[in-house]
Amino acid sequence: MQFETIPHPSPMADDAREAAIADPGFGTVFTDHMVTIDYDEGAEGSVGGGWHSPRIGPREPIALDPAASVLHYAQEIFEGMKAYRLADGELALFRPEENARRFNASARRMAMPELPEELFLEAVNKAVTADAKWFPSVEGGSLYIRPFMFATEAFLGVRPAKQYKFIVILSAAGNYFKSGSPAVSIWQSEYTRAAPGGTGAAKTGGNYAASLVPTGEAFKRGHDQVLFLDAVEKKWVEELGGMNLFFVMRDGSVVTPPLTGTILPGITRNSLITLLGEEGLSVREEPYSIQQWRSDAASGDLVEVMACGTAAVVTPVGKVDSADGEFVIGNGGPGAVTSKIREKLVGIQRGSVDDTHGWVKLVG
């Protein structure tokens, strides 16, 4: 498919852009362009089941009919990925084809059309190429990439929509956690995030909407993130609001909750399983209960806990608080395994550590 390029009449001036990306934080500084692809069921001459009119142009508001079904029944999915700057100055993506694949897995669960993987990848590459000068030069900086899709059809009956938009926007990103503290503290919520048979494994906005009250409670109590247990027994550790968890034991083994359909299959999670294995640690994907966590932390059998995801990379968890009181993991600060694995992952993403798995893909 041929992308149309719509000229930008007024991209941000160089000095204003430089000021905006000097200390971008997370999720508020947006770039000049966006990629859009439309879907109409059965559109004439379309490729990939109705996708058509791929274009890159100015980032701008979207006109939507007030009956657009996303506004009523929430057919929406998204991805989160980053462009990194390699030591030689080139921009690169980390395992982008995994995002393309997961996007389609989310689409299937939400009864939305799949987007051909090569079209997803081309859209992401075009967006990053157009706005490469928005890359922030701050330490740990990246261009955060947000591909998403939603139902645009004006229709109030309850069935999958017949029209969708796929859009890619970019945001200059610094560090995810404002505090910059060496380890995060988390609040174990009484709310649950996902039930068996639900949408917990899909990256869909509704999961996040449901997590805002519990996350707000965590913030109000002075914590950085919310911890969710399983919805059936309220016993098994699942994940944080947007990050997967790993438990590092004194005996050199590592436990991470299995992908049973109620947690998000993180690409960082998958990468860490490989990297931890290469460090000689044996990773077990098996259920881990909150009681076990508490007692392992007390006995010292548990030495480190890390949370991982694209936005926050690898972050040590120092403290857990709940209605039953709080407990600390290790010395409450970052442990050796967490620091080492974070350095290795960041090194691969930024080209200073050998990419033996072919995970890094140059933009362009």
Ligand X SMILES: *Cc1c(COP(=O)(O)O)cnc(C)c1O
Which residues make up the interface to ligand X (CB under 6 A)? 80, 203, 239, 242-244, 264, 266-269, 309-310
Residue whose entry in the numeric block shows the structure tokens 């030689």 = 88
Q: Which is nearer to ligand X, 96 or 136 (CB)?
A: 96
The CB-of-60 to ligand X minimum distance in angstroms stands at 26
Range list of H helices, 37-189 = 70-73, 96-109, 117-130
Residue whose entry in the numeric block shows the structure tokens 């059309």 = 113
The CB-of-231 to ligand X minimum distance in angstroms stands at 14
The CB-of-203 to ligand X minimum distance in angstroms stands at 5
β pairing state of 81-85 and 91-94: antiparallel
The CB-of-95 to ligand X minimum distance in angstroms stands at 9
The CB-of-103 to ligand X minimum distance in angstroms stands at 11
Q: How far apart are CA 17 and CA 29, in angstroms?
A: 9
Q: Which is nearer to ligand X, 241 or 330 (CB)?
A: 241
Q: Which is nearer to ligand X, 17 or 342 (CB)?
A: 342
Q: Which is nearer to ligand X, 268 or 338 (CB)?
A: 268
Burial 72-83 (b: 16+ CB within 10 A, else e): ebebbbbbbbbb
For 40, 103, 122, 124, 253, the CA distances from 52, given in Å and listed in that order, are 8, 18, 14, 16, 49
β pairing state of 81-85 and 33-40: unpaired
Q: Which is nearer to ligand X, 41 or 98 (CB)?
A: 98
